[in-house]
Amino acid sequence: MNPLVIPRPEHPISRSMIDEEALKVLYRLHRHGFTSYLVGGSVRDLLLGKVPKDFDIATNAHPHEISALFKNSRAIGRRFRLIHIFFKDRKIIEVSTFRSRSEFEETQNEEGETIRADSFGTPREDAFRRDITINGLFYNIADFSIIDYVGGMADLQRKIIRTIGDPDERFQQDPVRMIRVIRHATRTGFSIDDRTYQAILWRREEIKKCSPSRLRDEFLRDLKDGAAKPSLSLILRTDLLLSLFPGLDRVFGDRNPYKDRDREVFLTLFGLVDELVKIGRPVLDYILFALFLTPALKVLTPEHPFLGEKEQHFYRAQTMRLVIRDILTPFSVPKGTKEMTSLILLAQPYLKKAIDRGIIPRRMRTKKYFEEAVLLFGLKARAKGEEVPRLLRNAVPSDLLPWWPQRPKKRRRRSSWRSVLLRRT
């Protein structure tokens, strides 16, 4: 079947919207007789009137041919060789050869042998191996047209997120796509096609089969995207979250009589993260993990009924560490990040104690994670609609949390010459 080709006058993408260096790469490949298309997220974003994060290119040139054309390039990837072309200011344009399968798909042949996903393919195959229809569009530098094999233009117009091909099959091949569907739906505000949504409900348990590092990366992208709250809300509603983190069943599942309240707090916290992202504040991974774990720690680390104050802290610290380890297991979180997550979470009861006593001990203020611990404290307070005590606000830079009232700058009284002279006499 021939693709739908939308000629230049009938679509809004002009060359002035495309990154200068990406255009150079597209043209150079084209001049040397290769097919060269702008692909994936960049075409989608340009059609949506957004500025793309990156400009990926696909071509029929093989990796060695691409490398030969661009001196400033390097091959990456173990299985499927992609070429990164480097420009000034650390800009990278990624060029890949059309391929027939996604790098994460492992299919088996009739003898039960695993077929590797590194075979080159046609443009058509390359479109069909992609995840959702609006990500499967090509912009052709030869005549500036858009090539649509997968019905992406119609779905963009109807505002629908739909997998390419049968959703059930596509999620089985690579369950990470379920998370990607949710991210793209919440990011664009589009609705998820009914069959795609049903397939998520049906296949959600398969998410466990994904590699922990890919899961972590895709999940963190959800949380940092500025749409963490709607994403998590959908991940909760589809029960994907509990399939991913069985340890959270006691927090967000039916066993917790306060699950609705705890879900609400959880989503409110990530709504605040979205506000921070929108004003351009980077939110570090361990703050995100700490927020993610906050409702769980509240439910799963109750106080010990028979311990005194000191032992209580020790006991809580121990159980908190166990819960953190248990819940973050599906994610292969780097050791340093996990440690920082634990430290800022463990600091919370101490911050509370400091506030009650009206003094922040020096050994607490000088800890390397002090500011992050206060940030977490402030976010939790904000989520509950509470004020953060002045004692804590005064101990950190005044712009740590945008919602805190700015401290008036201290004005140093300059002594006038007159008073200096008077003092001398």
Which residues are part of the catalytic machinery? 54, 56, 131
Q: Are strands 160-161 and 191-192 parallel, antiparallel or unpaired?
A: parallel
Of the candidate spans 1-9, 38-46, 58-66, 106-114, the one that interacts with Mg ion by CB under 5 A turns out to be: 38-46
* Phi, psi angles (nearest 5°) of residue 147: -110, 125
For residues 27 and 104, which CB has a smaller minimum distance to ligand ATP in the complex? 104
**Minimum distance, C-beta of residue 341 to ligand ATP, in the bound complex (Å):** 24
- If the CB atoms of residues 56 and 262 are measured against ligand ATP, the closer one turns out to be 56
Map residues 50-89 to x or -, x wherever contact with Mg ion holds by CB under 5 A.
----x-----------------------------------
Nearer to ligand ATP among residue 226 and residue 349 (C-beta): 226
- Minimum distance, C-beta of residue 343 to ligand ATP, in the bound complex (Å): 30
- Shortest separation between residue 135's beta carbon and ligand ATP, angstroms: 3
Q: Which whole-number Å values give the CA distances from 110 to 114, 115, 171, 174, 236, in the listed order?
A: 10, 10, 21, 20, 38
Q: Which is nearer to ligand ATP, 174 or 193 (CB)?
A: 174
Residues that bind ligand ATP (CB under 6 A): 40-41, 53, 56, 102, 104, 130-131, 135, 174, 176-177, 180
Give the shortest CB-39-to-ligand ATP separation in angstroms.
7
Is-contact 279 229, C-beta < 8 A?
A: no
- Nearest position to Mg ion, beta carbon: 41
**Which residue has the CB atom at the shortest distance from ligand ATP?**
41
Q: Which of 28, 35, 41, 103 binds Mg ion (CB under 5 A)?
A: 41
Which residue lies nearer to ligand ATP by CB, 122 or 319? 122
CB of 53 to Mg ion, least distance (A): 6
- Gyration radius (Cα) of the chain, Å: 26
What is the rounded CA–CA span in Å between residue 82 and residue 122?
Answer: 16
Contacts with Mg ion by CB under 5 A lie at 41, 54
